[in-house]
């Protein structure tokens, strides 16, 4: 069926971005990260709050991009994978930047922003080498919040995350 083809095509396309966005949760739990990890903003403040906050770290960023790129490589589209993975995590940083400017604490909920910042970042970065597929984008805008909420709920139940969102 065409609709299924569209949905699976969209998920396959965005897989490096999903991977990049999920991977830092695991990285942050490692002993190595607990010892050496640093926030991307090095704790620097902008106004009343940190630039991005303590939830955005270098090891999360670097290993998230590597993990997403490996998925892209396995898919046979390494360059696209690198763009989707780095776009996702830069989008996630921008999302946190916006949250901090609205005075939200690290981990506080921001409906839609939390779920879509990385998706938008990934699509923008991918547009460097290809036309944006707006059908995929539309499918993923509707699909991603449910996937994101489910993944975060599982992460919470598994003790990987402090909040269930
Ligand atoms: N994480 C990380 N580095 C990143 C992104 C995420 O180390 N670049 C880890 C952090 O441990 C973070 C967790 O993954 O707490 C979940 O990510 P996310 O929900 O995006 O961050 P929040 O803690 O909710 O922070 P924010 O309020 O800024 O979204
Ligand atoms: Mg969060």
37-64 per-position pLDDT tens digit: 999 999 999 999 999 999 999 999 999 9
Nearest ligand to the CA of 160 is 1
**CB within 8 Å of 71: residues ≥ 6 apart:** 15, 16, 19, 81, 85
pLDDT of amino acid 86: 98
Separation between Cα atoms, residue 95 and residue 113, nearest integer Å: 6
Share the mean pLDDT of the chain: 96
H/E stretch holding 46 reads strand 45-46
Question: Among 115, 134, 120, which Cα is nearest to 22's?
Answer: 115
Mutate to test the pocket of ligand 1, among 19, 23, 24 (most ligand atoms within 8 A of CB): 24
Residue 1: band (very low, low, confident or very high) from pLDDT cuts 50, 70, 90 = confident
What mean pLDDT is predicted for residues 108-116?
95
What totals of helices (H) and strands (E) does the chain contain, helices first?
Answer: 6, 2
Q: 56: CA distance to ligand 1 center in Å?
A: 5
DSSP 3-state of 77: coil
SS3 39: strand
pLDDT tens column, 16-25: 999 999 999 9
pLDDT tens across 74-101, in order? 999 999 999 999 999 999 999 999 999 9
């Amino acid at each position: 069926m065409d609709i299924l083809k569209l949905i699976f095509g969209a998920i396959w396309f965005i897989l490096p971005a999903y991977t990049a966005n999920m991977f830092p949760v695991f990285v942050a739990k490692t002993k190595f990260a607990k010892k050496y990890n640093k926030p991307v903003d090095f704790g620097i403040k902008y106004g009343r709050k940190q630039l991005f906050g303590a939830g955005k770290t270098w090891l999360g960023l670097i290993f998230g991009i590597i993990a997403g790129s490996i998925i892209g490589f396995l898919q046979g589209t390494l360059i696209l994978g690198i763009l989707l993975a780095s776009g996702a995590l830069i989008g996630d940083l921008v999302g946190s930047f916006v949250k901090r400017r609205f005075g939200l604490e690290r981990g506080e909920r921001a409906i839609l922003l939390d779920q879509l910042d990385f998706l938008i970042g990934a699509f923008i970065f991918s547009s460097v080498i290809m036309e944006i597929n707006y059908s995929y984008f539309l499918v993923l805008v509707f699909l991603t919040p449910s996937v994101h909420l489910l993944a975060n709920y599982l992460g919470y139940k598994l003790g990987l995350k402090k909040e269930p969102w």
